[in-house]
């Protein structure tokens, strides 16, 4: 009853809980309720009570009620982590106590001890995903990348048995909104697939193995935990929009510091789920306008200040400016071709002296919102990648052969379905050929060319070419090796990724026609028209031919254009086929080429 009263009643409740603890020294319940008193009080005094209560519970029980949820609500200094680990050692042999102790040792930076404990648990028969996750984290954060990645693969294989959801806890601070909601509805049996898709989405270089982004994330996690921990998670700032509104009084000192930093006004491409709210924010943007997905701040949810949240997602900024006197920082990142600025400030002592996002314009607010819903590798790609995709019928009904072309010394391409499950990967010289069903996919291409690295991720929609009506494949164009004989693969190999072709050589064009009508003599009669439309306007060049061929399900269509027939310039090229037997028309999609 006293606990539900205002502050005075809660202090009375605390006295009663202390009395109960003295009367029942082995009972964790009074200590548990002491945690709740501290949580109700909030701020530094309340957190001190919570910490004392948590340690009291740990001394008596390693997994009492939801004590570990309260543990996530206090500041985890190395000393606090090690003290909790030492207390849990009294419960050695308890499955939760042992695993939690390994977790605490890892977060305290005691990697050898954590790894040895996790290894001992595995040797003793514990093979659940949580044990492997902690062993992997300890190895990766200590710099033993090779072993850590092996352990992490084991963790993924056993993800269904990760009862404490440690695998998710490791990556939740960088999850995208759709991943956040998807994981909440993922059954344990599907977790391995979820995490493999999670990392596939982030793989920075398809030419190398394993995925560098995994080790990079754990290195960032180690650095952020050491430098950007949220020190006062019980501050009312994290629970109360009204309290955050009071922090807007700090605008002047923030703006004065930014004047000294200079102006960076780049806008990050993309749209956040809060775009409409941001658009309505008006001119006077400040700390209170930072959107939060639910009733508590992201800082409090993940245990990092604003710098830590963004560091986990993007790593070191391109430039970091600090005004120690004003307690303001500006971090500049190159994102999507723009140099974007994020501003952090200690909004006031009431915010717990933690650095929080402090946007001063709608553009900065947009950047915060978008960047908190994405992440990026620090593995730089310093070369543009030019890629084309072409679609043909596959061997089996319903399948399409998808060609992915790129111009590079060597390249790798991968395709993922709409759930980021990999359906194919090829490494070597382009074009890369995949067999795919109709539907949406993401294509990734990584290149090495002239010693530089290129990267591209794009979505494609694979059409069906099995409709039973007249249909065309994509159109290919290139410089043939042999003018007298060329087919699909020969032209695909000759088609440049950037669409640039010499005008003083012969050009081969190739496509396939599906579903042509057949007359009584067993032949297909049709007209083809190749049309070169100048980009930007001008007179088009048209090449037309009448054809009569032996009928079939697939009819190859090809021509050889002699040098000089097409003038120099940039053109949009497409093919039109007119079936003369049933009076039907089909047209290919456009491709853009430049003759030089």
Given a cut of 90, whether residue 263 has pLDDT beyond it is no
* Sign of the dihedral through C-alpha 60, 61, 66, 67: positive
Q: What pLDDT sits at residue 7?
A: 54
Cα 383 from Cα 272, distance rounded (Å): 28
pLDDT (average), residues 316-321 = 97
* Sign of the dihedral through C-alpha 395, 478, 535, 386: positive
DSSP codes, 207-221: TSSS-HHHHHHHHHH
Q: What pLDDT sits at residue 92?
A: 97
Q: What pLDDT sits at residue 1?
A: 46
Percentage of the residues of the chain whose pLDDT score is greater than 90: 81
Q: Please tell me the pTM assigned to this model.
A: 0.92
User: How does strand 410-416 pair with strand 476-478?
Assistant: unpaired
pLDDT digit string, tens, across residues 416-459: 999 999 999 999 999 999 999 999 999 999 999 999 999 999 99
In the CATH scheme, what is the homologous superfamily, with its name and number, of domain 467-596?
Immunoglobulins (2.60.40.10)
Q: How many residues does the chain have?
A: 596
Task: Give the H/E segment covering residue 38.
Answer: helix 29-41
Closest by CA position to 168, among listed 132, 133, 216, 203: 133
Q: Which residue has the higher pLDDT, 129 or 250?
A: 129
pLDDT (average), residues 248-252 = 77
User: How does strand 569-579 pair with strand 523-534?
Assistant: antiparallel
CA 336 to chain centre: 14
Given a cut of 80, whether residue 12 has pLDDT beyond it is no
Cα 351 from Cα 509, distance rounded (Å): 66
Is 476:490 a contact under the CB 8 Å cutoff? no
For tokens 């939740």, what's the residue? 172
pLDDT digit string, tens, across residues 398-419: 999 999 999 999 999 999 999 9
Kindly state the tokens that stand for 453: 């690295």
| Half-sphere exposure (Cβ direction) of 270: Cα atoms closer than 13 Å | 20
pLDDT digit string, tens, across residues 74-99: 999 999 999 999 999 999 999 999 99
Give a three-class secondary structure readout of 39-96: HHHCHHHHHHHHHHHHHHHHHHCCCCCCHHHHHCCCCCCHHHHHHHHHHHHHHCCCHH
Q: How confident is the model at residue 10 (pLDDT cuts 50, 70, 90)?
A: low
Terminal Cα distance for the chain, rounded: 85
Is 360:367 a contact under the CB 8 Å cutoff? no
Q: What is the rounded average pLDDT for all residues in the chain?
A: 93
Percentage of the residues of the chain whose pLDDT score is greater than 70: 95
Kindly state the tokens that stand for 387: 């890629």
Q: How confident is the model at residue 283 (pLDDT cuts 50, 70, 90)?
A: low
Instruction: Classify 381-462 by CATH class.
Output: mainly beta
DSSP codes, 139-208: HHHHT-HHHHHHHHHHHHHTGGG-TT-HHHHHHGGG--HHHHHHHHT--GGGHHHHHHHHHHTT---TTS
- Give 429's contacts (C-beta < 8 A, 6+ positions apart): 410, 411
Given a cut of 70, whether residue 13 has pLDDT beyond it is no
Give backbone dihedrals phi and psi of 412, rounded to 5 degrees, phi first.
-135, 145
Q: What pLDDT sits at residue 41?
A: 87
pLDDT (average), residues 537-559 = 96
Cα 512 from Cα 132, distance rounded (Å): 52
Helix and strand totals (H; E) in the chain: 20, 21
Q: How confident is the model at residue 56 (pLDDT cuts 50, 70, 90)?
A: very high
pLDDT (average), residues 244-265 = 84
Please tell me whether residue 108 adopts helix, strand or coil conformation.
coil
pLDDT digit string, tens, across residues 342-380: 999 987 555 557 999 999 999 999 999 999 999 999 999
Strands (E), 491-522: 500-501, 507-514
Crossing angle between the packed helical segments 95-107 and 78-88, to the nearest 10 degrees:
160
pLDDT digit string, tens, across residues 493-511: 999 999 999 999 999 999 9
Q: Is the peptide bond before 210 cis (omega within 30 degrees of 0)?
A: yes
């Amino acid at each position: 009853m006293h606990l539900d009263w205002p502050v005075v009643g809660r202090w009375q409740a605390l006295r009663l809980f202390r009395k109960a603890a003295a009367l029942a020294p082995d009972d964790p319940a009074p200590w548990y309720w002491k945690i709740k008193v501290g949580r109700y009080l909030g701020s530094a005094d309340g957190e001190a009570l919570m910490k004392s209560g948590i340690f009291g519970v740990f001394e008596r029980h390693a997994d009492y009620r939801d004590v570990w949820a309260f543990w996530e609500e206090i500041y985890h200094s190395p000393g606090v982590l090690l003290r909790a680990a030492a207390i849990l050692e009294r419960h050695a042999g308890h499955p939760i106590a042992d695993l939690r102790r390994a977790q605490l040792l890892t977060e305290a930076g005691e990697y050898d001890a954590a790894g040895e404990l996790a290894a001992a648990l595995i040797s003793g028969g514990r093979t659940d995903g949580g044990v492997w996750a902690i062993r992997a984290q300890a190895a990766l954060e200590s710099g033993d990348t090779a072993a850590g990645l092996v352990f992490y693969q084991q963790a993924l294989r056993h993800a269904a048995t990760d009862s404490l959801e440690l695998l998710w806890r490791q990556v939740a601070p960088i999850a995208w909104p759709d991943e956040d909601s998807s994981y909440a509805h993922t059954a344990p049996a599907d977790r391995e697939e979820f995490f493999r898709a999670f990392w596939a989405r982030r793989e920075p270089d398809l030419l190398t193995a394993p995925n560098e982004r995994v080790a990079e994330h754990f290195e960032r996690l180690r650095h952020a935990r050491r430098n950007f921990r949220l020190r006062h998670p019980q501050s009312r700032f994290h629970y109360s929009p009204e309290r955050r509104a009071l922090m807007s009084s700090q605008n002047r000192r923030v703006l004065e510091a930014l004047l000294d930093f200079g102006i960076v006004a780049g806008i990050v491409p993309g749209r956040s789920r809060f775009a409409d709210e941001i658009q309505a924010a008006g001119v006077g943007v400040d700390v209170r306008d930072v959107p939060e997905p639910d009733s508590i701040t992201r800082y409090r949810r993940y245990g990092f200040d604003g710098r830590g949240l963004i560091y986990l997602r993007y790593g070191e900024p391109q430039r970091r400016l600090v005004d120690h006197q004003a307690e303001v920082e500006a971090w500049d990142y190159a994102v999507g071709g723009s140099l974007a600025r994020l501003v952090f400030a200690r909004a006031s002592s009431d915010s717990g002296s933690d650095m929080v996002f402090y946007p001063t314009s709608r553009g900065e607010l947009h950047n915060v919102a978008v960047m908190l819903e994405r992440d990026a590798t620090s593995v730089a790609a310093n070369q543009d990648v030019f890629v084309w995709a072409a679609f043909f019928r596959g061997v089996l009904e319903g399948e399409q052969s998808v060609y992915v072309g790129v111009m590079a010394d060597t390249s790798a391409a991968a395709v993922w379905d709409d759930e980021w499950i990999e359906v194919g990967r090829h490494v070597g010289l382009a074009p890369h050929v995949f067999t795919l069903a109709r539907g949406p996919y993401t294509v990734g291409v990584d290149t090495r060319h002239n010693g530089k690295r290129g990267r591209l991720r794009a979505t494609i929609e694979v059409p069906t070419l099995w409709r039973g009506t007249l249909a065309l494949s994509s159109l290919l164009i290139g410089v043939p090796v042999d003018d007298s004989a060329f087919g699909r693969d020969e032209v695909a190999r000759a088609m440049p990724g950037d669409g640039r072709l010499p005008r003083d050589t012969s050009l081969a064009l190739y496509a396939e026609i599906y579903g042509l009508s057949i007359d009584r003599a067993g032949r297909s009669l049709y007209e083809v028209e190749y049309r070169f439309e100048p980009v930007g306007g001008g007179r088009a060049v048209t090449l037309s031919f009448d054809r009569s061929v032996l009928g079939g399900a697939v009819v190859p269509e090809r021509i050889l254009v002699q040098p000089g027939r097409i003038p120099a310039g940039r053109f949009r090229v497409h093919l039109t086929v007119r079936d003369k037997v049933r009076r039907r028309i089909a047209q290919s999609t456009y491709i853009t080429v430049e003759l030089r």
